[in-house]
Amino acid sequence: MSDAVTKQKEDLSRLNEDYATKYGFHDPVDYFDQGAKGLSHEVVEMISQKKKEPRWMADRRHEALDIFYEKPTPKWGNVDLLEEINYENIYYYLKPTGQSESWDDVPEYIKQTFDKLGIPQAEREFLGGVSAQYESEVVYHSMRKDLEEKGVVFLDMDSGLRERPDIVEKYFGTVIPSNDNKFAALNTSVWSGGSFIYVPPGVDVEIPLQAYFRINAENMGQFERTLIIADKGSRVHYIEGCTAPVYSTNSLHSAVVELIALDDAYIRYTTIQNWARNIYNLVTKRATAHRGATVEWVDGNIGSRLTMKYPCIQLVGEGAKGEILSVAFAGVDQHQDAGAKVIHAAPRTSSRITSKSISKDNGRASYRGLVKIHKNAEASKVSVECDALLIGTDARSDTYPTMEIDNDQVAIEHEARVSKVAEEQLFYLTSRGLNEDEARLLIVNGFMEPFTKELPMEYAVELNRLIELEMEGSIG
């Protein structure tokens, strides 16, 4: 074995211990503000009062809570795990500190957390704005001056509601109403934090805006709420990442993300979800694309115990475009139930869904998708491609696409493939001197490449490292 290979192997074995040291730590915290465990109208009222919200929002929260109580738990996805969630054993609101605009003002333990995660460093290097959420509240927030001058609004959601109530009231809950599903209702009733972005007409936010979400406490529920509005002809790229410490009991992350791309606007939303393996990640993400607008979801799911997430694009204006690029990695005991939905509700709309999943050990990756073509959506085009790679005899892959086509002048294609790492490819690489581990890793990286190449450099590197970490020791 060559030295380089030996070194790579050493790197890999180091990476194997990484999550615990890199993200798995937690801070002992005396919370500035800590609600009681469990869910009730009192808790909802407490959250709303603490935030000094307008009454309409408080009413909206209470209404949503009633919807949450009414709605049954979904009978699909992973029913067993969903039934395990004990809503009474969760903290719905934890406030660690006030918000800072200067990194120096952030409390030391939080600063260390985000330093370890590389947040301000990334900001200095390549971001237009950064928001960092710790438990329920955004603790750090900053944006480049030039963007501010152009009228770009990038705030945490609570500040957004305070400072731009006009925009928030106009759009909040219009893409995902409270009664959309049980978890959207839950989020609407107890939401806290998240990002609010408004890009004025014609403004191109050339460098990405980023948010980072961190759960620290055990039994914490994080319910951030994000609303992004790209006004006519504007462009914006938003990136979010998430981690949490490793606890023995489960935590819940249930976000709602609404995107609105007005005429000819462009929004790209990139997620690298790397929650610890005890997080239930039940997220509702949906975008509306108006005439000529483009929305792209780039969605990577590496962590969590169970993820149920199906980013959706509603193409409501003529010529709107949607693209969803999704990748899921299901390792030990993980179930990644991810997918994509596109609703074509206007003529000459087009969409493309590319889903890549890897199931390893006893992991289970499911693609669950919907393509709906409404009667009026003539001359629309859809292409769906799902690739699944299985590694190990206990791995499981499911594909549940649904296509509902109500117009005859359309072109719809769906393809899915499931396979293991091809013997010929392994043979080819091993005959050129790579050992089987390295060969397999190379093949897996190639399999993921259509996804990784869409990520900003730093993220692509990080993702490749994560995959390496997951792949380590995959061959007996």
Partner 1 sequence: METPKLSPSQLTGPEWLQAKRAGSLTSYNDLPLPQRGLHLWRYTDPRTFVIDSAEATTTSVESTFADVARVEKQHFDDGHLDALVIDNQGQTITSDLSADASAAGLVAGSLTAALDSHRELAERYLYALVNTAFGKFEAMNGALWQDGVFVYVPDNAVLTRPIHLLREAGTNGSRQFPRLLVIVGANAEATVIDEYGGGADEAGDTPSYSNGVVEVFGGAGSRTRYISLQRHGRGMNAYLTHRAQIANDASMVTVPLAFGGATTKQNFGVNLNGRGANSEMAGLLFGGNYQHFDNHTLHHHTVGDTYSNIDYRVALKDRALSAYTGLIRIDQKAKNCEAYQENRNLLLNPGTRAETIPELEILNEDVSCSHGATVGPIDPLMLFYLTCRGIPTDVATRMIVSGFVASTFDKIPSDARERVAAIVESRLGDI
Question: Which residues would be at the binding site for partner 1 (CB under 8 A)?
Answer: 75-76, 359, 375, 388, 390-420
CB of 405 to partner 1, least distance (A): 4
Question: 14 or 420, CB closer to partner 1?
Answer: 420
CB of 393 to partner 1, least distance (A): 5
DSSP line for 148-199: HHTT-EEEEHHHHHHH-HHHHHHHTTTSS-GGG-HHHHHHHHH----EEEEE
CB of 322 to partner 1, least distance (A): 17
CB of 356 to partner 1, least distance (A): 15
- Output the CA angle 73-76-80, nearest 5 degrees: 70
CB of 361 to partner 1, least distance (A): 10
DSSP line for 225-278: EEEEEE-TT-EEEEEEEEE----SS-EEE--EEEEEE-TT-EEEEEEEE---TT
Question: 305 or 344, CB closer to partner 1?
Answer: 344
Question: 281 or 397, CB closer to partner 1?
Answer: 397
CB of 367 to partner 1, least distance (A): 9
Question: 37 or 414, CB closer to partner 1?
Answer: 414
DSSP line for 356-424: EEEEETT-EEEEEEEEEE-TT-TTEEEEEEEEEEEESTT-EEEEEEEEEE--SSEEEEEEEEEEES-HH
* CA distance linking residue 335 with residue 139, whole number of Å: 31
Question: 294 or 359, CB closer to partner 1?
Answer: 359
308: nearest Cα among 299, 296, 317: 299
Q: What are phi and psi of 88, to 5 degrees?
A: -85, -10
CB of 55 to partner 1, least distance (A): 35
Bridge partner residues of 240 (DSSP)? 211, 271
Question: 321 or 364, CB closer to partner 1?
Answer: 364
CB of 285 to partner 1, least distance (A): 22
Q: How far is CA 450 from CA 57, 352, 439, 446, 463, in A?
A: 41, 13, 19, 8, 13
Question: 284 or 380, CB closer to partner 1?
Answer: 380
- Output the CA angle 400-402-407, nearest 5 degrees: 165
* CA distance linking residue 416 with residue 401, whole number of Å: 9
CB 208 within 8 A of CB 126: yes
**Mapped to the 3 state alphabet, what secondary structure does 133-150 carry?**
EECCEEEEEEECHHHHHC
Tokens of 224: 């951030």
CB of 359 to partner 1, least distance (A): 8
